[in-house]
Amino acid sequence: MTIALNTQSLKKPTNVSINSELLLKAKQLKINLSATLEAALIEVVHAKQRELWKQENAAAIKAYNEMVETHGLFSDDLRSF
């Protein structure tokens, strides 16, 4: 489950520590640090949210899979493949 982010949300200044050589190369290449960090954080946050959702729902997923294994799917008789 991924929670949508408000793209209109206000920006908040923050301090980060970055490898000095990497920072120099990024500046030389005119890489927008804020946009790059934000894009990377979105990916990491979504990945963490997916992992947490899987952990929180592991029992239900296991129960459902066991039910399907035991009883099959309700549509098994309707499929033509």
The pLDDT tens digits for 45-60 are 999 999 999 999 999 9
- The total of structural domains in the chain comes to 1
The residues of the chain scoring below 70 in pLDDT are 1-3, 81
Residue 16 lies in a domain: no
Percent of the chain with pLDDT over 70: 95
pLDDT of residue 20: 97
Residue 4 lies in a domain: no
Residue 4 in contact with residue 53, Cβ under 8 Å?
Answer: no
Q: What pTM, to 2 d.p., does this model score? A: 0.71
Domain with 80, as residue range(s), is 33-81
Residue 11 lies in a domain: no
| Residue 26 burial class via C-beta count within 10 angstroms: exposed 0-12, middle 13-18, buried 19 and up | middle
Residue 13 lies in a domain: no
Residue 7 lies in a domain: no
Return the structure tokens found at 55: 């952990």
pLDDT of residue 1: 58
Residue 21 lies in a domain: no
Residue 58 lies in a domain: yes
State the Cα angle at 68 between 46 and 48, rounded to 5°. 10
pLDDT of residue 2: 58
